[in-house]
Amino acid sequence: MKISESGLIGQSVARTDIIDKVTGCAVFVDDIQFGPNLLHSRLVRSPHPHALIKKIDTSKALALDGVRAVVTGQELSARMGLYLIDRPIFAADRVRYYGEPVAGVVATTEEIAVQAARLVEIEYQPLPAIYDPVEAVQPEAPLLHPDLGEYSVANFIFPEPGTNISEHFKIRKGDIESAWEQCAVVAEDRFRLPSIEHVPLETHTSIALSETNGEVTLWASSQSPFAMRDMIAQGLGIPHNKLRVIAPMVGGGFGGKAGVTMEACAVVMAQAVPGHPVKLRLTREEEFVGTSVRQSLVSDIKVGCDKDGNLLAMELTYYFGGGAYNDYGVNIARAAGYSCTGPYDVPNVKADSLCVYTNYPVGSAMRGFGMPEIHWGLEQIMDQLAEKVDLDPAEFRRLNCVRTDDEIVSGMKMTPINLEACIDKVTEAIDWGKEEKPTAPNKKRGKGIAIMWKAPAMPPNPGSAAVVRFNEDATVNVEIGGQELGQGSFTVAAQIAADVLGVPYRKVTVSSPIDTKYSPYEWQTVASRLTWSMGNAVKAAAEDARKQILETVADHWDEDVDDLTIKDGLVISFKSEREQPLDKMVIYGLPNEDFEGWKGGPVVGRGHFMPTYVTNLDPETGQGTRAVVHYTVGAQAVDLEVDLDTGQIDVLKIASVYDVGRAINPDLIMTQIEGGAVHGMSSAYESLKFNENGEPINPSFVDYRIATIADIPGKIIGDFVETPIEDGPWGARGVGEHVMVQTAPAIANALYNAVGIRFSDLPLSADKIYLALDEKLAQER
């Protein structure tokens, strides 16, 4: 990918259109909704990974016919961020990664905006760049954020001003030094993961409209409309009631459409042309550098056990490559810190989890939120340790896995789980222990296993709200602020409401799109939290509506509420066997005797949920009463073949089992398991590659390897375990992200079982495997 001297990436222009049946002419979809006042924009991006901005000249761009405005960071002092407010909307005094927005051009057409962006002249003074997070923590490394000590930060994030460390989370549990003396066997290794991209089919697109009265409306493909409103409002000084975010269903998110990426740029450009909606659409090439990526990670792991395989000690250092801005990424390092051991009972632990500034694109949320990264090394080191102590990998995990009420690494008691049952189910599914013949003489076959845990990684008090509203015919509208990403959140919300209200599911509709002006509050659609948190809110709202209905009918019949229920849209009395349809009464109420007045009225249920029991952790030890709301655990086993002539992996079977608490919709769980298995497999193959200038060299589907239908395993076996938790709706918890957390190490463990080679670095590309096989063969000769 090349940024021209004008700072443009991907200069193609594409617009969706339909054909008007009367005129036969093309009508742009945008024009239908927004009219002829719609303007278009492009961003001017930095061609340097680290440089001072000495001068910006916009005069030639402004002189071009059709250009309405050019905005730059030199006109803004705003910073934004979710946990650490470190990120400018447009770079002002320096750029910190290749592709960082420096200016924005607004014009009457996208073609003119592209042309004008080439005319913006920017003078840079290049500075030394740093890319490796281990190198970036060294005292001699270039300092990327000299003002780190002045940034606002959440009270549970601990940056180290004067360094490139934006977060340092510590675990100090037990007596690590004496524990090593008791270990009969020790395994130690370093593991690396590259950055990878979310690659949603729908690229980031926003349209912003700034009215002359100061009100701003932003249409955005977003997982986090309320968080987006909050960050942009605070950064730009807009009252929250003057900023409206409308978020239709999202065409692929995976964490990449959480928080704020390019949407604030659209708002700033719209403010420069009041009364005109301004569209900002990223090209596919821009998607790889102009949004966010999964952070890279270097893991140093040392673990020891006694002669019987019981874990005694673990020492870890995680270096997360957070990229140029770590406003979201700091919480990934924190989550990795308080879950650093993986789902194992380890009495003595020393861990340091660091989020580190580098001159790569912004590292942020991605499906799994730090857990795929740390499990890559954890699950391989456990196999190494099991081999040294001569234990079967599955048995080693059964022996050491965390159980209900165990005191885990953060000092809290483990919430109800049954990880052993998950291990049993996946090993049975792939005939663990049975040696299978490969399908061809030039292939080797192997099996591997990996287990995982993940908690919702979020602040201690993220809230959910819901409204349940009846219509005259007893149909129901459920209003929520959680987003539909294809994971089925609307389906689950409708199911919960229907079950509580006693009405058929087909009569329940979830209102959309999500609109911060009208929708109830939802923190974000992240962390696999909607079934749990939003589900609790919907359940509470439906219970509120149900209570209103039953009280009205009980008063009308002069009966006790406890003798009534609602089934199939009818209020039924167990005592008198009377029935009352919900139709009309849920709006108009019921008449008193002889129609002397009425009782009841429009039924609107309201509910909310917020966890109130999560506590702070000691900043020096990471210990506390309750670090998280709960954990979801699971196991995955893989049966694969390796082609010795090409290094190509062929995954024959993946078995995945997770403890979901309570399965509200088993079919949706299975779709998550199937999609997650493929997504996790893809993450083992993917890698965003950069040249020495910090420039991505594979920013397209031609060069960026993702799993396709040709890679899908021959068989995906999914199942679940139900161990209800105390704080979920009917005991349910989320399972959306967990399904891909441990796939890559399960594949690596199976690969070792097949060919006897360990791979500590991702990706598991065919050429890397082939070269390793060739080297091993040469050594054996």
Q: Which residues are catalytic?
A: 737
- Give how far Cα 644 sits from Cα of 187, 441, 445, Å: 28, 9, 11
Distance CA 292, CA 336 (A): 19
For 241-275, letters b (16+ CB in 10 Å) and e give: eebbbbbeebeebbbbbbbbbbbbbbbbbbbbbee
Q: What is the DSSP string of 125-161?
A: EE------HHHHTSTTSPPS-TTGGGS-B-TT---BT
Tokens representing 200 are 């949603």
Distance CA 429, CA 432 (A): 8
Distance CA 20, CA 774 (A): 61
Distance CA 709, CA 288 (A): 22
In sequence order, what are the residues at sequence separation of 6 or more whose Cβ sits closer than 8 angstroms to the Cβ of residue 434?
Answer: none
Distance CA 209, CA 220 (A): 12
Number of continuous H segments (helices) and E segments (strands) in the chain: 18, 35
Kind of pairing, strands 87-88 and 79-80? Answer: antiparallel
SS in 3 state form for 436-492?
CCCCCCCEEEEEEEEEEEECCCCCCCCCEEEEEEECCCCCEEEEECCCCCCCCHHHH
Q: How wide is the angle at C-alpha 364 spanned by C-alphas 727 and 637, nearest 5°?
A: 65
Q: 570-573 long-range CB contacts below 8 Å, 24 or more apart?
A: 570/502
In sequence order, what are the residues at sequence separation of 6 or more whose Cβ sits closer than 8 angstroms to the Cβ of residue 667?
Answer: none
Tokens representing 225 are 């409309």
Beta-carbon count within 10 A of 387 CB? 15
Adjacent-strand bridge partners of 186: 304
Distance CA 652, CA 636 (A): 13
